[in-house]
Chain A
Amino acid sequence: MLASNLEVVERRIRALSYEHAYAFAADGTLILDTTDFAPASIGFTADQLSLLRNASLTHNHPGGRSLSQNDVFLAMEADLAQIRAVTASHRFWINRPLKGWTPDYQKRVRTAITAEKGLLIRHLERDISGGRISPEAANRGFHHLLWSNLASRGVVRYAHEPWED
């Protein structure tokens, strides 16, 4: 039920020009349906945040990118079971760690994101300078590379897949 409900709304929002979020309980019940009609942001009231514990929250990224670091910060703040982002071509998600978003884990993730971002920027700058990658390719892949690198180090449970139309 959860998977099929996610599928329905994600197909509905994946190509929108503004962000729209839905959250579902583990049994597939719709908990939240919200948008600010803004291209890259959604505001949540404290009451809305309090509804999201153990939920799967999905939303679209009109810019076509993978999850943002703020998506993961929201997952930690609201104790989400899963944070998802969809684009016209792909869907991306990060699952809550098996032991939960513990304070130690949150500290570790925040530190790792900061370190990995710096490292990734330096590597891509070097590759662009060496002519091994174009700035356009570095731009397109930046967020996905960040999460892929963190996942390969066991920091986050990240996955993605293209849409099968």
Chain B
Amino acid sequence: MYLLLDPPVSPFSPPEAIRDWIRELERLSARPEYAAAPARDQITAALAEAQAWLNTSLSVHASRDSRGGADKR
């Protein structure tokens, strides 16, 4: 199978939204029809990108949260 994956998130989405996308990719990877290439490789690539985006998101949102805290102080 060829799998068209359209991430519903970006590197600037809230971390929880990206975690939801990672869980969706993991759910897809468990389906037998996607166990072989190219679908398997497409899911692997999407998971790697989602993990990188999660790191960006965590950094961006943590910075904003700390600035918000400083503003409140």
Bound together, the chains give a CA A126 to CA B9 distance in angstroms of 19
Contact with A along B41-59 (1 / 0, CB 8 A): 0100010000000001001
User: When the two chains form their complex, are residues A40 and B7 in contact, meaning their CB atoms are under 8 A apart?
Assistant: yes
A79 within 8 A of B: no
Contact with B along A68-89 (1 / 0, CB 8 A): 1011001001000000010000
A138 within 8 A of B: yes
Contact with B along A24-58 (1 / 0, CB 8 A): 00000000000000111111111001000000000
Report how many residues on chain A are interfacial, defined by Cβ distance under 8 Å: 34
Given contacts A121-B11, A138-B10, A142-B11, contact A45 B4 (CB under 8 A): no
Report how many residues on chain B are interfacial, defined by Cβ distance under 8 Å: 27
Give B48 Cβ to nearest chain A Cβ, in Å: 13
Given contacts A40-B21, A43-B3, A128-B60, contact A70 B42 (CB under 8 A): yes
User: When the two chains form their complex, are residues A124 and B4 in contact, meaning their CB atoms are under 8 A apart?
Assistant: no
Bound together, the chains give a CA A38 to CA B6 distance in angstroms of 11
User: When the two chains form their complex, are residues B7 and A44 in contact, meaning their CB atoms are under 8 A apart?
Assistant: no
Of chain B, the residue at the smallest CB distance from A44 is: B2
User: When the two chains form their complex, are residues A124 and B8 in contact, meaning their CB atoms are under 8 A apart?
Assistant: no
User: When the two chains form their complex, are residues A42 and B4 in contact, meaning their CB atoms are under 8 A apart?
Assistant: yes
Give B43 Cβ to nearest chain A Cβ, in Å: 9
Q: Which residues of B contact A42 (CB under 8 A)?
A: 3-4
Given contacts A44-B2, A77-B2, contact A139 B10 (CB under 8 A): yes
User: When the two chains form their complex, are residues B6 and A70 in contact, meaning their CB atoms are under 8 A apart?
Assistant: yes
Residues of B participating in the A interface, judged by any CB pair closer than 8 Å: 1-13, 21, 24, 28, 33-34, 39, 42, 46, 56, 59-61, 63-64
